[in-house]
């Protein structure tokens, strides 16, 4: 049942992916100027100085600028599906290679933030709901408000000042791959993870608290108590599973938000993930890379939402039969 | 010997505006082992609050402010939450009015029944599963084995209420509280579920507190009946004689408002008072056709009536004559 559902949901992401591909393709069409030059990273000055006739001609052929746009799109999509995202004029290597080199850093950061955020959010959100108007509730409320009113970059700067500059405990920029030096990897990933996790957690806490309070009023909770179950079972077995059902559906959203937030945070910490790459590429007018990165980020968001859907189905006995 | 002896139970709600509301006011009744007591009364009269007080499952705004709830010789009103947990679901169980929402939608019905065995009898998963399937058979759920792994949404209201009964009776309690267990069901289903309750009550020798506003059902199910009006008991008595000859004008009014072929329908005049400001004297006096001056001033206590011996109690200054008066 679940496998069939997973496949069906996977197929249902195809229209989304199609729309994303159209948008990404069109982005470059919207940039004013000669598209061949744009894709070659030309940024003013005398063309002949920077770009040879041969390079220009090769790009003209690759883009097929004189063909009808739909045909250009189909050709572009065909190449993209085969993993050919073009070549970065800046780095002179395939965009795919650049992205794949940077992708792990972003995935590690996203996963670490989601895990840390969840580890903070679930106990705090549940405790806040169960012990309303106690110090835990106030603490949770504090985290939520902090996450809402303080922009991520400000938190990042404060953390950099405190742990990096003042205390000198942690590096404030850069990255080390885990396979090279795991401890250094952890040290580098800590600060950006905290910033993203706090933002993620503050949203999730708010949601869990509200939902949990609602769930506690449900009849099935009274039944669980009437059975003589301990409060621990009532909360962490009976209410928790129902509440997670609702929470998982918002996790998809929050993860998308997290990916957006990571652009700023990766840049601030000079953390070489694909979000930072995106920003760098925009500044460098490296549109081939921009296109490639946007596709990847979109893919990741779609995939995360897909995972949230599957998790929801796993928790919800009803959905598999609908 | 009474398994449950409720004495002068009083429950107050603290309202949001700072006021208090007495939802149960000095209620006393007993249930013997194996006996069925019907608790009847209009909506809002305090039946559910009485039941939840016995379970000690009242909302946090509610408080048992006076009285004793003697169950098997011990006062439940004095028990700690931990002590109550060993009693709930094992020695006293409760089923509720809303079968559609009373089960947890996220767990299989099998798990929800076997959980009780694991909690109270410390059984393992295999043993508790076997026992749960046995319970499904006892409440006459068809294909009990296949039922185990199904979820509540796969069942109708009647079947869900049977699952609730299976949960409630799993550990063989001494007392079952059924709070309008069939009100939400179709008439035909209602009869089936009632017969399941009745059969099991009989087989297991259960004491049963059966709450309902359906007097016909109460007449058929119960040995004894207690009639509640505005947080107080108005009349208590043996079921057949009480229905044949009510002594309290409120009970009389209730019985007259049941639609019966060939008889004019005479609902009780007026509406129930607001519990935040109960009338002085007898609470029923504003609606009572026999009310006199004394009824407006003096609150009648629930007391044994003449002729003594039939165990009839009524809270009325001027009780009706009983069986003779109706003719
Ligand atoms: N949570 C609450 N807050 C305030 N008052 C309450 C609350 N629950 C119940 N009450 C009051 O207690 C009174 C008795 O309620 P109860 O639920 O026992 O009535 P009932 O006899 O079971 O009625 P019904 O037949 O509708 O189930 C109600 O009139 C209501 O005013
Ligand atoms: Mg009720």
User: How large is the average pLDDT for residues B252-274?
Assistant: 83
B322 lies in some domain:
no
User: What residues of B are in the A interface, CB distance below 8 Å?
Assistant: 55, 57, 84-90, 93-94, 96, 98, 101-108, 115-116, 119-120, 151, 153, 164, 167-168
Residues B70 and B209 in one domain: yes
Residues A152 and A278 in one domain: yes
Q: What domain range is A221 assigned to?
A: 100-285
Residues A73 and A116 in one domain: no
Chain A residues close to B87, C-beta within 8 Å: 228
A309 lies in some domain:
no
User: How large is the average pLDDT for residues A240-256?
Assistant: 86
For residue B49, the CA-to-ligand 1 centroid distance in Å is: 6
Q: What domain range is B251 assigned to?
A: 227-314
A276 falls in which pLDDT band (50, 70, 90)?
Answer: very high
Chain B residues close to A242, C-beta within 8 Å: 104-106
Residue B54: predicted pLDDT: 98
Closest residue by Cα to atom 8, ligand 1, is B49
Tens digits of residue pLDDT in B152-170: 999 999 999 999 999 999 9
> Is A37 or B30 the better-scoring residue by pLDDT?
B30
Tens digits of residue pLDDT in B127-148: 999 999 999 999 999 999 999 9
Chain A residues close to B107, C-beta within 8 Å: 238, 241
Q: How many CA within 13 A on the CB side of residue A244?
A: 20
B321 lies in some domain:
no
> A293 vs chain B: nearest CA distance in angstroms?
40
Residues B41 and B176 in one domain: yes
Label the pairing between strands B20-32 and B2-14: antiparallel
Chain A residues close to B164, C-beta within 8 Å: 223
B264, pLDDT greater than 80? no
A43 falls in which pLDDT band (50, 70, 90)?
Answer: low
Q: Both tokens of residue A257?
A: 């938000």
CB under 8 Å to B253, separation ≥6 — which residues? B266, B267, B268, B287
User: What residues of A are in the B interface, CB distance below 8 Å?
Assistant: 218-220, 222-230, 233, 238, 241-242, 245, 315-318
B259 lies in some domain:
yes
Residues A48 and A184 in one domain: no
Residues A39 and A109 in one domain: no
A320, pLDDT greater than 60? no
Write the ipTM: 0.92
Instruction: Give the nearest chain A residue to B114 (CA atoms).
Output: A227
Residues B265 and B130 in one domain: no
A12, pLDDT greater than 50? yes
User: How large is the average pLDDT for residues A135-143?
Assistant: 91
B306, pLDDT greater than 80? no
* % chain A with pLDDT above 90: 43
**Whose atoms come closest to the Cα of B46: which ligand?**
1
DSSP codes joined into one string, B114-125: HHHHHHHH---H
Tens digits of residue pLDDT in A177-218: 889 999 999 999 999 999 999 989 998 999 999 999 999 999
Among B189, B222, B255, the domain boundary falls at B222
Comparing C-alpha atoms, which of B52, B112, B49, B55 is closest to residue B87? B55
Pick the most confident of A196-200, A262-266, B36-40, B261-265: B36-40
Residues B7 and B135 in one domain: yes
A273 lies in some domain:
yes
Helix (H) or strand (E) holding A58: helix A53-63
B310 falls in which pLDDT band (50, 70, 90)?
Answer: confident
Residues B217 and B282 in one domain: no
B319 lies in some domain:
no
Residues B136 and B25 in one domain: yes
Chain-chain contact of B96 with A219 (C-beta, under 8 angstroms): yes
B156 lies in some domain:
yes
What are the b/e assignments for B58-93, b being 16+ CB within 10 Å?
beeebebeebbbbbbeeebbebeeeebbebbbbbbb
B15 lies in some domain:
yes
Residues A147 and A175 in one domain: yes
Average pLDDT, chain B: 93
* % chain B with pLDDT above 90: 83
Residue A32: predicted pLDDT: 75
Q: What are phi and psi of B95, to 5 degrees?
A: -120, 150
Dist. CA A261–CA A255, nearest whole Å = 10
Task: Look at chain A and report how many structural domains it folds into.
Answer: 2
Residues A182 and A220 in one domain: yes
For residue B297, the CA-to-ligand 1 centroid distance in Å is: 26
A44, pLDDT greater than 70? no
Among A52, A81, A110, the domain boundary falls at A81
Residues B213 and B260 in one domain: no
Comparing C-alpha atoms, which of A229, A233, A254, A246 is closest to residue A120? A254
Task: Look at chain B and report how many structural domains it folds into.
Answer: 2
**What CATH number is attached to the domain comprising B213?**
3.40.50.300
**What CATH number is attached to the domain comprising A208?**
1.10.3720.10
Instruction: Give the nearest chain B residue to A218 (CA atoms).
Output: B101
Residue B327: predicted pLDDT: 37
Q: Are A208 and A249 in contact (CB under 8 A)?
A: no
* pTM, full prediction: 0.87
Residues A31 and A142 in one domain: no
B326 lies in some domain:
no
Q: Both tokens of residue A286?
A: 């490296």
User: How large is the average pLDDT for residues A110-120?
Assistant: 93
**Three-class SS string for A190-254?**
HHHHHHHHHHHHHHHHHHHHHHHHHHHCCHHHHHHHHCCCCHHHHHHHHHHHHHHHHHHHHHHHH
Residues A110 and A64 in one domain: no
The verdict on the CB of residue B48 being under 6 Å from ligand 1 is yes
Q: Which of A262-276, B101-115, B162-176 has the lowest mean pLDDT?
A: A262-276
Comparing C-alpha atoms, which of B135, B109, B88 is closest to residue A230? B88
Chain-chain contact of A220 with B102 (C-beta, under 8 angstroms): yes
Residues B141 and B78 in one domain: yes
Residue B326: predicted pLDDT: 39
Among B222, B237, B268, the domain boundary falls at B222
Residues A119 and A74 in one domain: no
């Amino acid at each position: 049942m679940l496998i069939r559902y997973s496949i069906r949901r996977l197929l249902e992401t195809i229209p989304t992916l199609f729309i994303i591909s159209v948008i990404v393709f069109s982005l470059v069409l919207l940039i004013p100027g000669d598209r061949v030059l744009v894709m070659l990273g030309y940024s003013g000055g005398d063309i002949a100085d920077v770009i040879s006739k041969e390079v220009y001609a090769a790009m003209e052929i690759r883009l097929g600028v004189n063909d009808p746009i739909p045909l250009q799109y189909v050709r572009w999509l065909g190449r993209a599906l085969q993993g050919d995202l073009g070549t970065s004029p800046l780095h002179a290597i395939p965009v795919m290679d650049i992205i794949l080199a940077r992708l792990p850093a972003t995935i590690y950061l996203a996963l670490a933030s989601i895990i840390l955020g969840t580890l903070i959010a679930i106990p705090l959100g549940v405790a806040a709901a169960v012990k309303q108007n106690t110090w835990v509730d106030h603490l949770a409320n504090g985290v939520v408000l902090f996450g809402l009113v303080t922009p991520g970059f400000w938190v990042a700067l404060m953390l950099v000042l405190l742990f990096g500059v003042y205390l000198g405990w942690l590096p404030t920029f850069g990255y080390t791959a885990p396979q090279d030096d795991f401890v250094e990897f952890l040290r580098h990933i800590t600060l950006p993870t905290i910033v993203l996790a706090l933002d993620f957690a503050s949203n999730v806490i708010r949601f869990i608290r509200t939902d949990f309070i609602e769930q506690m009023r449900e009849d099935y909770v009274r039944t669980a108590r009437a059975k003589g179950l301990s409060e621990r079972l009532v909360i962490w077995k009976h209410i928790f599973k129902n509440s997670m059902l609702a929470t998982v559906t918002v996790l998809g959203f929050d993860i998308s938000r997290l990916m957006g937030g990571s652009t700023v945070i990766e840049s601030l910490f000079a953390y070489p993930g694909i979000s930072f790459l995106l920003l760098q590429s925009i500044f460098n007018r490296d549109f081939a890379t921009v296109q490639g990165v946007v596709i990847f980020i979109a893919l990741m968001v779609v995939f995360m939402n897909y995972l949230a859907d599957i998790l929801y189905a796993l928790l919800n006995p009803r959905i598999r039969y609908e | 010997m009474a398994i449950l002896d409720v004495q002068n139970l009083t429950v107050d709600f603290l309202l949001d505006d700072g006021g208090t509301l007495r939802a149960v006011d000095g209620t006393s009744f007993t249930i013997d082992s194996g006996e069925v007591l019907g608790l009847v009364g209009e909506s809002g009269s305090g039946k559910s609050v009485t039941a939840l007080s016995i379970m000690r499952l009242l909302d946090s705004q509610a408080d048992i402010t006076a009285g004793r709830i003697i169950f098997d010789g011990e006062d439940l009103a004095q028990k700690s939450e931990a002590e109550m947990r060993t009693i709930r679901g094992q020695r006293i169980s409760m089923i509720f009015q809303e079968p559609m929402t009373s089960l947890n939608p996220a767990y299989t019905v099998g798990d929800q029944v076997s959980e009780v065995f694991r909690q109270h009898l410390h059984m393992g998963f295999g043993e508790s599963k076997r026992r749960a399937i046995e319970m499904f058979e006892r409440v006459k759920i068809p294909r009990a084995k296949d039922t185990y792994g199904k979820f509540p949404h796969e069942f109708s209201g009647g079947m869900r209420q049977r699952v609730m009964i299976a949960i409630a009776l799993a550990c063989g309690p001494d007392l079952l509280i059924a709070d309008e267990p069939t009100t939400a069901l179709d008439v035909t289903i209602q009869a089936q579920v009632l017969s399941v309750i009745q059969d099991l009550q009989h087989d297991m020798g259960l004491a049963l507190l059966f709450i309902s506003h359906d007097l016909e059902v109460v007449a058929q199910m119960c040995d004894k009946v207690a009639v509640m009006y505005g947080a107080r008991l108005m009349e208590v008595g043996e079921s057949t004689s009480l229905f044949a000859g009510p002594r309290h004008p409120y009970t009389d009014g209730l019985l007259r408002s049941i639609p019966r072929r060939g008889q004019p329908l005479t609902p009780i005049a007026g509406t129930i008072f607001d519990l935040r400001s109960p009338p002085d004297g007898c609470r029923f006096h504003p609606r009572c056709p026999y009310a006199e001056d004394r009824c407006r001033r003096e609150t009648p206590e629930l007391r044994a009536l003449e002729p003594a011996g039939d165990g009839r109690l009524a809270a009325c200054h001027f009780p009706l004559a009983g069986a003779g008066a109706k003719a």
